[in-house]
Structure 1
């Protein structure tokens, strides 16, 4: 789409404001809005200036001037603003016109460029399954003399005996019993359908939505796969619309991996494949799961580099509250057909050659999608380049129920890192696969690790309420 086409849309739809957005290292979106009357073709050439020193991990105050250049292919109408507004995603540049090497969206684009120069294929496709909770109330604090959190949901099993105005109507979602029930147990059919309607109006192709396993309003909406950067753009749009739709209903949506103790957390299972033009490169009839050797090598790269990769795909301290056995959590570094406790699953039901793909189940939605998808592609391409065979490396296939295996058998299965600090240490030791082709830079990785170390330390040094239960009376 040309800049003139965007200007035509602004005029035809009576748009009053143009919202220019970019994404920081953590995956949070930021925006600056310009009156539509001030947006001209030159705006798409010269960009919009902003202060990079106010964005964590970007620039120091002595070199803070930065520019975001809009990508005209990302335009959509914001469904939540009172004044008609269009949203445009941007890439970040330095004032001298150089692509900024800490811009997550730029890194995603460089990963796609590297795929083509590596001679493996032309296009990588990604499709995330991003789960979320919809709560009715959230309260939290972390101070010097107090620390607490509280969440509540009308669906939650702990409210089965709550007295409510008008009477308690029952039909609560049982503990770990929320997978695809119908109403009245599923109270969120209409809100998810409204989310889907708005997502479709914003350009996403929605495939389905449903209630998920956990109690207290866990849901999932699946949208159609696309190329790496476009899928990351779509995921940012998805999270924005899900959270703001919930807000319009007087509720709150969160993509936090483990907001509830003792029930299933929210993951972001990422389906991925590589094509050469219209030819699917991951399909080979008769192979394990009908996968080609290229796909097997891609899996080998994902699993071999998984400890480092997880620093980018599961980049929060809360991520590792989800990555514990017993809650469908994919903590086992193995691959399998249909085994949801393995880190890599090969979907086999109703799969066509073009639909043949691998699913990395470990990630969650605290990941910056541009960085996470780029890192997964780079790990997979390294596996292809080095012909890493996951079978020879001892990653499976694992076609057993892991929960029924003996302790001795389980002991032979490698696991994901247990903490964010462990994952960051793994990234420090294994990052070269990310810097191939200049996709990630060493400067970016060092800066990212420093930011995440600070987050881990901030949690580690604070007093946890459960410590009072354990130690106060000693």
Structure 2
């Protein structure tokens, strides 16, 4: 059998169906960096078929969102040794927006001694899942993705505007759940559905959110690593679908002044591997102590991982009272004003929804951080506070309000650092410190408007 034929036989069914007996023109060999940006190499399919691995420097994880390098991220210094990247063929999916027959493949990342690179985001999530597995548990997550479709914006000095709809008018705000609002940009939604079908990605539903041009996309529940892979793919695919129709898709936490921010809500449950039983419910269908401990762990440790859930200075503009985002760590039953919500469900579906993550976070790191907090609650048997009744915006604001304060909390929580990995936390903090310092050098229009002539 030829190398290409052998490769095609190893692909998931969805990729084989997509190719329909054709050869692969190109393969994108990719990984997610700290920001969730796809890094890697593209190569002809024939060459990929003959390779078992390729190499990238470890410095791809030391790069800020602006392109600078945190050369102090590791104690060993900035020497840029190669990492070994091996294809995970289970992740081989089509890139249906391309002009030829292209596949994307996420790669596993090891050092030259064969050990997982500890600051690679996908490896961080795997590490957390393995901690659960070692205790006989399997975490289950179901993410929600909120994003905006906006008009093309080529001048950063210009404010972001909603997209032009089929009616010839700008998309309107405050139209949550409106079907006609979704229809305004129906061609983009149609392509998202078509691309998702070609890629074998399941969508539970798409709806109009409260912002002008703001969409929510719900995913099925399942294995955290697989769902993070899918979100990584979805973000690339949604951007491509929007560009086909002369608009941008943005996952910024707060892209438009005066509009709601975009969240990445994460629903969590935990099942026993041996029995498949949800550990949050007992045989009578009642809540277990483990359910409370999971919430207690999140209440205690979520402040220390806000730097991962809200990774940019813009992220903190989302945490505004009465603006569809939480301002504290209260928990409540079917209460969307709390940071931690327990949705209505049957015993098997009992779960905790973390409403703190923004859509700008890396999905691998957002899910890892959230699960890490719940894990520490389970193993430490941390009791939760009393459930909040009523409007939680009347409660105290007890999450960090800026990236600098959030990074200090991350550095100070040894338990979280043990779960996520000390090397990862060191690299992440170094990169984010550099980004924050870069931001502080920028003078904003607000400062020029109010300070130039008045102070």
Q: Partner residue of 2:427?
A: 447
Over 3 Å counting, the alpha-carbon distance change for 1:66 and 1:154 in structure 2 is: closer
Matched, 1:352 2:346: yes
Alpha-carbon distance between aligned partners in 2 of 1:154 and 1:224, rounded to the nearest angstrom: 28
Q: Partner residue of 1:160?
A: none
Q: Partner residue of 1:201?
A: 198
- C-alpha displacement of 1:116: 1.4
8 Å CA contact retained: 1:379, 1:434: no
User: Please, which moves more after superposition, 179-188 or 464-473?
Assistant: 179-188
Question: Which whole-Å deviations, capped at 9, do the CAs of 1:67-86 have from their partners, x for residues lacking one?
Answer: 21111111111111112111
- C-alpha displacement of 1:3: 5.8
8 Å CA contact retained: 1:137, 1:153: no
Alpha-carbon distance between aligned partners in 2 of 1:52 and 1:171, rounded to the nearest angstrom: 44
Q: Partner residue of 2:369?
A: 375
8 Å CA contact retained: 1:105, 1:229: yes
Match of 1:74 among 81, 91, 110: 91
8 Å CA contact retained: 1:125, 1:226: yes
Alpha-carbon distance between aligned partners in 1 of 2:426 and 2:179, rounded to the nearest angstrom: 48
Q: Partner residue of 1:233?
A: 229
Aligned-residue RMSD, C-alpha: 2.5
Match of 1:363 among 354, 357, 365: 357
8 Å CA contact retained: 1:196, 1:221: no
Over 3 Å counting, the alpha-carbon distance change for 1:88 and 1:155 in structure 2 is: same
Matched, 1:103 2:116: no
Matched, 1:420 2:403: yes
Q: Partner residue of 2:66?
A: none
Match of 2:437 among 418, 436, 457: 457
Q: Partner residue of 1:259?
A: 255
Alpha-carbon distance between aligned partners in 2 of 1:33 and 1:131, rounded to the nearest angstrom: 29
Looking at both structures, which has the greater relative contact order when contacts are Cα pairs under 8 Å and sequence separation is at least 6? 2
8 Å CA contact retained: 2:171, 2:184: no
Q: Give the alignment of 1:35-74 within 5 angstroms.
A: 35-40=44-49, 43-44=51-52, 47-56=53-62, 62-74=79-91
Question: Which whole-Å deviations, capped at 9, do the CAs of 1:153-199 have from their partners, x for residues lacking one?
Answer: 2459xxxxxxxxx9x8668514xx12022326751233223212211
Q: Give the alignment of 1:89-238 within 5 angstroms.
A: 89-119=106-136, 121=137, 123-141=138-156, 148-154=157-163, 173-174=172-173, 177-183=174-180, 186-215=183-212, 217-238=213-234
Alpha-carbon distance between aligned partners in 2 of 1:381 and 1:283, rounded to the nearest angstrom: 17
* TM-score, normalising length: structure 2: 0.88
- C-alpha displacement of 1:324: 1.7
> Where do 4+ consecutive residues of structure 1 move more than 4 Å?
57-61, 168-172, 284-287
- C-alpha displacement of 1:61: 5.7
8 Å CA contact retained: 2:228, 2:363: yes
Alpha-carbon distance between aligned partners in 1 of 2:239 and 2:348, rounded to the nearest angstrom: 33
- C-alpha displacement of 1:441: 2.5
Structure 2, unaligned runs of 5 or more: 1-5, 64-72
User: Please, which moves more after superposition, 333-342 or 25-34?
Assistant: 25-34
Which secondary structure state, in structure 1, belongs to the residue aligned with residue 410 of structure 2? helix
Alpha-carbon distance between aligned partners in 2 of 1:184 and 1:53, rounded to the nearest angstrom: 43
Q: Partner residue of 2:27?
A: 18
Q: Partner residue of 1:399?
A: 389
Alpha-carbon distance between aligned partners in 2 of 1:322 and 1:22, rounded to the nearest angstrom: 28
- C-alpha displacement of 1:239: 0.4
Q: Partner residue of 1:343?
A: 339
Q: Partner residue of 1:306?
A: 302
Over 3 Å counting, the alpha-carbon distance change for 1:172 and 1:317 in structure 2 is: closer
Alpha-carbon distance between aligned partners in 2 of 1:398 and 1:107, rounded to the nearest angstrom: 32
* TM-score, normalising length: structure 1: 0.85
Over 3 Å counting, the alpha-carbon distance change for 1:471 and 1:111 in structure 2 is: same
Q: Count matched residues.
A: 431
- C-alpha displacement of 1:150: 2.2
Which secondary structure state, in structure 2, belongs to the residue aligned with residue 100 of structure 1? coil
Alpha-carbon distance between aligned partners in 2 of 1:471 and 1:196, rounded to the nearest angstrom: 48
Matched, 1:469 2:452: no
Structure 1, unaligned runs of 5 or more: 142-147, 157-165
8 Å CA contact retained: 1:155, 1:185: no
